[in-house]
Chains A and B, each alone.
Chain A
C-alpha cells in the first residue's frame, strides 16, 4: 500500500514565472552534482550538472547554483512551462561512481 506520512514538497508556480528548486546535500566530499527531472511512470531525465570547482552553470532555460560552504544546490527554471511539471531530484557523488539522490521536489505549473 501507499506509504503513510511521506509527501514530496511541492512548488506551485504560474506559467511563465521563474521557478527555484532547492536542495541540501549531505557529503562535503561530493565533487559532482546533477539535477534530474522525473515524470510520472518514467525514469529520471538528466537536466544539468555542475562540478565542485564551479558555483554556477547555465543551460537552456535552466541554471544550477552551487554553494559548497553551506552544502546547498539550487535549480532555476526560467519562464516555466506546463511541460516542466514533474518531480525534480538533485543528486551528489560522494565517490567516483556512486550517485546519491535527494528527496525530491514536485513542481506544479498553473496555466
Chain B
C-alpha cells in the first residue's frame, strides 16, 4: 500500500519550455502533497506544500510564479516549471501523506529528472 506515482520519470527539453510533472497517490487519499528538489549529492529540499482545494505554501526562496502547483483532487498534484532554464535542471520528487497522516511517514514517488538544454 501507500504508493505514490510520478510522471514523467525523465524529461529533456529546451530552455524556455514549461514542463508539467504529475504526482498521484494510487491507493490512498492525500489532502497534502509535498514537492522537493534534489541536486546531485545533496539532500532533499522542500520547495512547497500542496494543499487540496487551496493555494500551495512555498518555502522561502522558492518562486511561486516559477513553480506552479495545482492540487485539484485528493489523489493528484501537479508541479509546472514555467519557462525552464538550465539552472532548473534537477531531480524533482513528490511525496504524499494519508488523510489521517499526522505523525505518519510521507510516501515518496520515484522522482522526475529534469534536464533543460
Contacts and interface: CB of A to CB of B under 8 A. Distances in A.
B77 interface: no
Contact of B110 (A3, A43, A51): A43
Interface stretch (A62-70, A74-82, A91-99): A91-99
Interface in A69-111: 89, 93, 96-104
Contacts of B109: 43
A46 B109 CA distance: 11
Given A41-B113, A97-B32, A89 B41 contact: no
Contacts, number: 61
B105 interface: yes
Interface stretch (B12-20, B43-51, B67-75): B43-51
Given A101-B44, A104-B43, A93 B103 contact: yes
A36 B44 CA distance: 11
A44 B44 contact: yes
B46 A100 contact: yes
What is the interface of chain A mostly: helix, strand, loop, or mixed? loop
Nearest to B36: A101
Contact of A42 (B97, B105, B111): B111
**A32, A43, A44, A93 — which one has the most chain B CB atoms within 10 A of its CB?**
A43
B39 A34 contact: no
A102 B49 contact: no
Interface in B101-117: 102-103, 105-111, 113
A41, A42, A97: most-surrounded residue (chain B CB, <10 A): A97
Nearest to B32: A97
Interface string A12-46: 00000000000000000001101010000111111
27 contacts: A2-B40, A3-B41, A3-B42, A6-B41, A31-B103, A32-B103, A34-B105, A36-B108, A43-B109, A44-B44, A44-B93, A44-B108, A45-B108, A46-B105, A46-B107, A93-B103, A96-B102, A96-B103, A97-B49, A97-B97, A98-B46, A98-B49, A99-B34, A99-B95, A99-B106, A101-B44, A101-B45
